[in-house]
Amino acid sequence: MHSPTPRRGRAAARAALVAVAVLCPLTAAAQDTLPCDEISSGAPIVYGAGGSAQTPLVSKAAVVLQGSDDPVYVVYKDDAGACSGIYALTALGPTTITGTAKYWAADGTQLSCALPLEGEEVDFASMGNGPYLCPLVTDAAYLEGITEVTGPISSVNVLVPNASTQQSISAEAFYLVYGFGAPAGVAPWVNTDPSYYIRRNENSYVQLYLSLATGLPVTRYTGVDAGSNTNSVAWLSALADPEAGISFASGEVADANRATVRTLAWQQTGQNAAYWPDSSATAFDKINVRTGLYYLWGPGRFYGLAGDTDGSFADPATEVLLNFFAGVSAPAGASKTITEVAIANKNVPDCAMYVTRDGDLGPLYAYAPAEPCHCAFEAAATGATTCATCDDATPCADGTCRNGYCEEY
Partner 1 sequence: MRAPLIWFGLVAALGLGCKDDGKSDEGSDDGGSPLGDDGTGDDGTGDGADGGDDSGDPACWVASDIGDCWDCALPEAPESDSLKALNQCNTTGYVVFDNSERIPASTWVEGDPLPALP
The residues binding partner 1 (CB under 8 A) are 165-170, 172-173, 175-176, 179-180, 184-187, 215-217, 220, 265, 267-268, 270-283, 287-288, 291-295, 354-358, 362-370, 372, 374, 408-409
Dist. CA 341–CA 326, nearest whole Å: 12
Dist. CA 383–CA 378, nearest whole Å: 7
> 272 or 309, CB closer to partner 1?
272
Look at residues 147, 130, 44, 34 and name the one whose alpha carbon lies nearest to residue 89.
147
| Torsion angle, alpha carbons of 96, 105, 55, 32, to 10 | -50
Least distance from C-beta 345 to partner 1, angstroms? 21
Contacts of 113 (CB under 8 A, 6+ apart): 33, 34, 35, 36, 38, 39, 75, 100, 101, 102, 103
DSSP secondary structure of 130-166:
-GGGSTT--SGGGGTTEEEEEEEEEEEEEEEETT---
> 282 or 309, CB closer to partner 1?
282
Least distance from C-beta 353 to partner 1, angstroms? 10
- Find out whether 244 and 196 touch, Cβ atoms under 8 Å: yes
Least distance from C-beta 303 to partner 1, angstroms? 23
What is the CB-side half-sphere exposure of residue 176 using CA atoms within 13 A? 13
> 103 or 295, CB closer to partner 1?
295
> 25 or 363, CB closer to partner 1?
363
Least distance from C-beta 161 to partner 1, angstroms? 14
Least distance from C-beta 270 to partner 1, angstroms? 5
Dist. CA 353–CA 330, nearest whole Å: 21
> 142 or 197, CB closer to partner 1?
197
Least distance from C-beta 186 to partner 1, angstroms? 5
